Amino acid sequence: MQKTPFVTKSQLETITRSYPTPFHLYDEAGIRRTARAVNQAFSWNPGFREYFAVKATPTPGILKILHEEGCGCDCSSLTELMMSRRCGIVGEEIMFSANETPAEEYVLASELGAIINLDDITHVDFLEQTIGFIPEKISCRYNPGGVYTLGESTEGFQVMDNPGDAKYGMTREQLFQAFRMLKDKGAKEFGIHSFLASNTLSNDYYPALAAQLFRLAVEVQAQTGCHVTFVNLSGGVGVDYKPEQSANDIFAIGEGVRRAYEEILVPAGMGDVSIYTEMGRFMLAPHGHLVTRAIHEKHTYKDYVGVDACAANLMRPAIYGAYHHITVMGKENAPCDHKYDVVGSLCENCDKFAVDRMLPEIEKGDLLVIHDTGAHGFSMGYNYNGRLRSAELLLREDGSVELMRRAETPEDYFATLVW
């Protein structure tokens, strides 16, 4: 499907008068639309909750909008827990899913009343020693090992990932044992969590994962007597970064999970299990743009367009070769008859937002929208070459724009120096 920016060129020209490029811009209307669709798709499950993966977009303005739509926070670090608390999101509205977890993080998670998801069996004792008790509601992360393949989907797209090489989660035997240990130590409500594959473009991923976890839940409950009250499908639902890809259908996904639930959990007398999700990318990626301006052009062995954003603002193309669609504002209908590398200023040759991309002719001063940067965009930013993090702006539903986070200044960059 053709990718259309959620702002117009004239809106952007107005915004750039107050906020110079580059900046990340988020679309409130789109964020609410997606959150409502997710909640509706799983409304058949009374306990359903989406815990937004804070690492994808750790920005209070965004977390508060999602909270208004009923979402909680999935946190993995001390500062993510603090960010959630800062937004007034506490208690069971926080899922704490960390690994190699420092003691202080369990302490804060426990103080906030978060649901704690243990990544390893050794953390049963570590948690108890750290906070002095085992919470009544607790979760364990499962890793089935091997290679995870999701057969050819209707899109002709195959999902394959390698849980056996992933550092996360417990083996099946460890999970059973951890549940028994936790029960002996006073836990009463148990959850199972698993994350098998990232950025899946298939309506079958969640249903297939759910079926696997539901079967496991039935066995765990039967064999250990632990009352499983929730199954957490975690993240991994992908987005169509490329125009030729088709988007996931969250209603088909919710319906697929419902079918597995009816087939597996309900007959086992486990119709009280709540479904949790921890989507980051699916919730936010399409609702963010990185807005940048062409500031140079260079013609050597290739044709380059130099922009004022760089990989420090959006790392995915540099580290994964990830595709992000680019719209040259005001030239939406111009022919894509020029082949460019669109590059940032880092002294790293991987600092390219696009390689050999066919685009309309770009002139200095043109505004470029880099699409689908709302998740794992700003948040992966860094300060290499002394580049500074950009501002984050919110496009309100009424068309107004608010600054959620100012751009870093050189003073910020020097602030941590001791001498």
Is 290 in contact with 24 (CB distance < 8 Å)?
Answer: yes
Residue 76 CB partners (closer than 8 Å, separation 6+) = 54, 55, 96, 97, 98, 99
* Nearest to ligand PLP of 55, 338 (CB atom): 55
Could you tell me the two tokens for 122?
């050794």
CB of 125 to ligand PLP, least distance (A): 22
CB of 201 to ligand PLP, least distance (A): 12
* Nearest to ligand PLP of 235, 344 (CB atom): 235
List of residues contacting ligand PLP (CB under 6 A): 53, 55-56, 74, 76, 97, 195, 198, 234-237, 278-282, 375
Give me the residues paired with residue 228 across strands: 190
Q: Which of 191, 146, 184, 181 is nearest to 166 (CA)?
A: 146
Would you call the peptide bond into 22 cis, given omega within 30 degrees of 0 as the criterion? yes
CB of 98 to ligand PLP, least distance (A): 8
Is 289 in contact with 369 (CB distance < 8 Å)?
Answer: yes
* Nearest to ligand PLP of 285, 329 (CB atom): 285
Is 376 in contact with 316 (CB distance < 8 Å)?
Answer: yes
* H-helix segments, 185-231: 205-224
Name the closest residue to ligand PLP (Cβ). 235
Residue 296: count other Cβ atoms within 10 Å of its Cβ.
12
DSSP string, 358-380: EE----TT-EEEEPS-TTTTGGG
CB of 72 to ligand PLP, least distance (A): 12
* Nearest to ligand PLP of 96, 179 (CB atom): 96
* Nearest to ligand PLP of 233, 359 (CB atom): 233
Measured distance CA(352)–CA(382) in Å, rounded: 16
CB of 277 to ligand PLP, least distance (A): 8
| DSSP classification of residue 91 | G
Sole residue written with tokens 């090992």 = 145
* Nearest to ligand PLP of 21, 117 (CB atom): 117
DSSP string, 278-297: --SHHHHGGGEEEEEEEEEE
Could you tell me the two tokens for 8?
């117009």
CB of 61 to ligand PLP, least distance (A): 18
CB of 280 to ligand PLP, least distance (A): 3
* Nearest to ligand PLP of 93, 366 (CB atom): 93
3-state secondary structure of 24: strand
* Nearest to ligand PLP of 121, 367 (CB atom): 121
CB of 372 to ligand PLP, least distance (A): 12
